[in-house]
Structure 1
Amino acid sequence: MLVQPALAQGARKTPVAPPPAPSAPRGDAVAGRELAESERCIECHGADGQGSTHDDAIEGKFPRLAGQQPDYLLKQLRDLRSGARKNDFMQVMARSIDDATAAHIVAFFAGLPPMRGDGRADANGATLYARGDATRGIPACAACHGADALGQRLADGIAPRLAGQSWRYLERQLLDWRDGFRRNSPGDAMSAAARGLSDAEILSLSHHLSGLAAGASPASSAAR
């Protein structure tokens, strides 16, 4: 199914004040479980949304989807379907998934227990995430993704959950944002946010975010 995250979903984006609770999935999770299998999402993203164990997933080609912001997942499917997000394999897969089907699949993955990361603690990554580096024009990632990196609604979109994502996937996406291979954030804000990051800083951020403790899923948060 999908492909996901990139760090700050906006270099200058500010959350709506006060930030609303994440949107609950609009589809049916039970139907979504069956559709995720028939549409072959599970082959790469796992029945538990934690990713599969084959080599491509281990190398960071496929994201973990469990507990991801549902509106973010829907946007990525639409972007893949339209070509706004480039990924040859996923563009083919997304063409067979209309919005009604996508809503059910998204409800299934978003409602699963949150993704469990494989990163290590990284103090440099934690500081860069929380504060950015104003001297180099690097914004604080937390301004858009939240202090705990659980994602949140912004004035012009949704910042995805990053906590617990595969560090290899995060690294791959940040490199793609920085190097211009991915360009589907509102106003191209993620390209601007990642442009000044070094390879070492991207690795530190990726490990820090992947290693964050799991929190509540958007679906369970919205239900409380």
Structure 2
Amino acid sequence: MSQVLKREVVYAFTGLVTVLMFVEYFFFAETWSLAETIRTWAIIVYNISLGLGAIQLLRQHTLNLQRKRDNYGYSAVVLAFFAIMFLTGMMGYLATGQQTDNGIYNWLFVNVYTPLGATLYPITGFYIFSAAYRAFRARNIDAALMLIAGCFVILSNAPVGEAIWPGFATIGEWFKFTGQIPGMRTFAMVGALGMIAYGFRALLGKERGFYAGGGDE
């Protein structure tokens, strides 16, 4: 089978599935059982893809270790923690044949994984603060309005803001729950329209970036 024919089969299959799910969701047509079957297969394909991703992760970091590429020590950490979490997670199942409450896995998850995940939030907050510092400069009227609104919101969330003036909390709440709602709704509508347009382009075979080896034409 030629590469062109393989691609066209994928495009046709994607279009067929999209139409079926679209009709089933919006028009409540008698395609429920077929749509449910498609959703079940989607879960199966997702789990297979997850397994392939794990294999590729192990393969890539193993190559990093073997060839001693830059920062290969991080690859060793990834492989070690992958093996530890996988073996401890499967330990109870391998011993009893059923999923059991594994104390070692739970301890590692709560005391290692959760703190590491929580560390990402302060790091993200630092980058947000850095971006806000660069953005909140009153170069023009728009930037000045954003600076004023941002100051009110920050002071309404900080305990020192209410200590300085109780009105900061009221004004900050107005900005968060009244002033920003029109803008957020606009972003949501534009994003939804963009996703619909992207879906139609994929349905017509015009948007091929998500296909393996494909590109936007």
TM-score bucket of the superposed structures, by smaller chain: under 0.3
TM-score, normalization by structure 2: 0.18
TM-score, normalization by structure 1: 0.18
Question: Relative contact order: is structure 1 or structure 2 higher (C-alpha 8 Å, sep ≥ 6)?
Answer: 1
Q: Which has the higher helix share?
A: 2
- Higher Rg of the two aligned structures: 2
